[in-house]
Amino acid sequence: MLFNSIEYALFLPIVFAIYWIIGYLHIGNAFKLKLQNAFVLIASYVFYGWWDWRFLLLIAFTSLCSWGSGLLIKSSILNHKSSISKLWLTANIVINIGILAVFKYYDFFVTEFGRLFSISTDNMLLKVILPVGISFYTFQALSYSIDVYRKKVEPTHDIVAFFAFIAFFPQLVAGPIERATNLLPQFLKNRTFQYGQAVDGLRQILWGLFKKMVIADTCAIYVNRIWETYDMQSSGVLILGAVLFTFQIYGDFSGYSDIAIGTAKLFGINLMRNFNSPYFSRDIAEFWRRWHISLTTWFRDYVYIPLGGSRVNKAKIIRNIFVIFLVSGLWHGANWTFLAWGAFHAFLFLPLILSGRNRRYTDQPVTWRHLPQIVCTFVLVVFGWILFRAESITQAWRYMCGIAGQNTVTTHFILHSWEYIPLIVTIVFMLGVEWLNRAATHNFAIQQTISNQWLRRLLYLAVVLMILYLGQFHYNQFIYFQF
């Protein structure tokens, strides 16, 4: 079920109404909480099963393994059997990573093995459909058992609350990848409706729909057209295609996150921020602190730091940086282009961390005087997205070679440049709003930056009208659903 579909437009208000009707029933708080959580779980499974009900068995199995492992790990710790607790943790990691590997990477590695040794592997391929959101909920489940083992969170005996924590529908298929330390406790306590929180949630949903339907889906039309004929395009058009994909993937993914976080607020749940104006970053290190924050911090806490982080010798620092970026690339999909994308960012990141400049922009607010650094970082990110968008390394190389060509602008491009004007205007509008709210709690928290009520209402109306008149209503799937 897509956030930008008629089905979801009917699903959400029905779920919202029943959820809060349960919340205001005159019954015991403990029973009310269990009833609400059970309803959230049912609604989440309906939401997820809308694509393919068979994959409900998979997410239920993942949830059961992680829930059970948490209790077994805690029991072993209490009985001073650290080796046994580590065994339970390892078993859960192997099971979950094993499932992910089979569905997402098995066919890729078998195919590449066949190419390497020039043998046919057609009869060895599984050719299974990739379950939507498997990378997201698998990592969320893994973080729970790891945090229990590290004694950062207490395991819960409430299986319904835990299953709801893993399957919570707003963030189930494309994040944010939540931690048990933040999300699980919210399912273990009674929630009350808060008008201000709900209004802010609607505000964030509106902005997410704008970024998805107006920015991302419109960019997709031109990006797809350019990439389909990239070998016949001028360098100017290829540059335009790369820049438009940069805004497409941002509008698509951050738009999803905004809708997810805003929807959660309607149910009294606070999710972590997943994007923080990444295209206003002044270097690559800051970009990765602002882009897909839930995944970046996941790899930092569960891969990079356990490997020694930056508190080791330089050789190991280089190893650690390449490990997390290559694993991050592989997380996005079974394709050499994603590994190349990860390696590209690792090479950009290395000079910063080796020179100790990777955290120079952690506290310093972004201002206009940082525009040169922002532009340079943006250009590097654009080239990285070419690798990400390409279907193969060869295609990415040819696209980049086309950009380096001599024919910068063609007559055809000049005659049809007017087609891009509405899209460019909306992108500038988005950047302006997000620049204005760059220090706010989210990029459309205009109540924190615009004091005039009528001006805020005018801005809401402008966004609604742009969605209605410029938005794409083809219910295009979100890019990160494939990951």
Q: Which residues are catalytic?
A: 332
Q: Could you tell me the sign of the dihedral formed by the alpha carbons of 6, 265, 280, 283, in that order?
A: negative
Residue tagged 């996005």 (tokens): 332
Tell me the one-letter amino acid at 455: L
CA distances, 126 to each of 109, 122, 132, 301, 402 (Å): 12, 9, 17, 33, 37
Q: Which of 299, 323, 3, 13 is nearest to 174 (CA)?
A: 3
Phi, psi of 241 (to 5 degrees): -60, -40
Residue 382 contacts residue 344 (beta carbons within 8 Å): no
Helix, strand and coil in the chain, % to nearest 5:
70, 0, 30
Q: Residue 474: helix, strand or coil by DSSP?
A: coil
Phi, psi of 164 (to 5 degrees): -65, -35
How far apart, in whole angstroms, are the C-alpha atoms of residue 140 and residue 294? Answer: 10
Q: Is 133 exposed, middle or buried (0-12, 13-18, 19+ CB in 10 A)?
A: buried
How many other β-carbons are positioned within 10 Å of the β-carbon of residue 227? 19
Q: Is 315 exposed, middle or buried (0-12, 13-18, 19+ CB in 10 A)?
A: exposed
Residue 37 contacts residue 113 (beta carbons within 8 Å): no
How far apart, in whole angstroms, are the C-alpha atoms of residue 272 and residue 290? Answer: 12
Annotate 55-82 with b (16+ C-beta within 10 A) or e (fewer). Answer: bbebbeebbebbbbbbbbbbebbeeeee
Q: Which pair of tokens denotes residue 379?
A: 């250009």
Q: Which pair of tokens denotes residue 401?
A: 């070679």
